[in-house]
Amino acid sequence: MEQDKEIIVIGGTNASGKSDLAVKIALWLGSGKARKRFGIHGAEIVSADSRQVYKGMDVGSGKITKKEMRGIPHRLLDVADPKRIFSAARYRVLALREIRRIWREHKIPILCGGTGFYIDAIIHGTNIPEVKPNAKLREKLKHKSTEELFKALEEKDPERARTIDRNNPARLIRAIEIAEALGRVPAPTRAPLPARILFLGVKKENEELKKRITLRFERRMRQGMVKEIARLHRTGVSWKRMESLGLEYRYGARLLRKEITRNEFEKSLIREITAYAKRQITWFKREPGIIWISDEKEVMTKTETFLKNRPFN
RNA sequence: GCGCAGGUGGCAGAGCGGUCAAUUGCAUUAGACUGUAAAUCUAACGCCCAUGUGGCUACGGGGGUUCGAAUCCCUCCCUGCGCA
């Protein structure tokens, strides 16, 4: 009976207001009107954000607050310890579990977040080899040149070497890691989520986006973003680890260690966040069914159309 | 007013007689994406034809030296620092 399942996906850049939109849709889907019209028993939000899975990372990751949730359940927030690496594979397992449960309760899951890779892992079911990070191997490979890495991969797995980006050390190392463990890198396959999908992309104009990012930065500073980072460090998150927990935490750690000034902190952070937003757009552009929207009204109309056109009403 | 340093592409900043439309970083634009993905990587980026071992205009303004100048000389303008 999976064919009658449906899911709403809200992707988009950071600072685009997509979390609020998700809540609005969920509230509407939970209303008596929606129930009468479409027989829907509400909605739950499943976060697709690779930073917000971590406990204690709230202000810096822009995690929605209890109040902003307005009673709508949010899943996949605070499910990981920032001291330990969380992975897309783990995300996939946890998120699918939630989505299936939500369906069983005759509700609609709203997958909302900015991590395109995570969203893909759910709706396209990208396969991911079961190979854990091998710290020792990575340490060993860290100082090799990209040419050396490429040669090493070519020897182990010529098939994968053919299509890999040979300039990208992170990918090369990962591929070698997988080849080392499994003998070769498995070919990519996809197992699409068996459901009707409404894929919305929230996008703001460049100028508007920059303004929002700046304003949000100021708000976060007032909300104690730097204090939060200091607290994380006190509770055992190393500075080195902090570097890989996202832009706010990376630059925040540098600020706290006095490697950069408060001014440099602000400038580089805003610059990096903007650049990241562009990469997010590039990612979502690949999605053939995506419907780009910029304001709230459009979201509601698109959702309504999506529900009206259900083949199984 | 005198002394010193300097004025180079959107910004920062190399180059200091030919190989310079000009290293590099930032910004900008587009793109890739097989388990840390807020990661990692790629390309374009003076103007024009928009095909190239193509054409044109460029290194504060003007003048000069030279076969040849962003690079040397003169002069003017401007900026910073020091002294008055």
The tens digit of pLDDT for each residue in A176-217 reads 999 998 888 888 888 899 999 999 999 888 888 888 899 999
What gap in Å lies between CA A216 and CA A272, rounded to an integer? 14
Q: What is the pLDDT of residue A250?
A: 92
- Residues 262-301 of chain A in contact with strand B via CB under 7 angstroms: 271-276, 278-283, 285-286
**Chain B positions with any atom < 7 A from a protein CB:** 26-42
What gap in Å lies between CA A250 and CA A269, rounded to an integer? 9
Beta strand A196-202 pairing with A43-47: unpaired
What gap in Å lies between CA A227 and CA A255, rounded to an integer? 11
Q: Residue A105: count other Cβ atoms within 10 Å of its Cβ.
A: 10
Across A12-16, A75-79, A273-277, least confident range = A12-16
What gap in Å lies between CA A123 and CA A293, rounded to an integer? 20
Closest residue to B28 measured CA to C1′: A275
What gap in Å lies between CA A259 and CA A245, rounded to an integer? 18
Let me know: does A69 contact A27? Beta carbons within 8 Å. Answer: no
Q: What is the DSSP letter of A64?
A: P
Could you tell me the pTM of the whole model? Answer: 0.89
CA of A266 vs C1' of B41, distance in Å? 26
Q: What is the pLDDT of residue A67?
A: 95
Sign of the torsion angle spanned by Cα atoms A115, A121, A126, A129: positive
CA of A261 vs C1' of B82, distance in Å? 30
A168 sits within 7 Å of strand B by its CB: yes
Judged by C1' against the alpha carbon of A159, the nearest nucleotide is: B34
Per the document, the length of chain A is 313
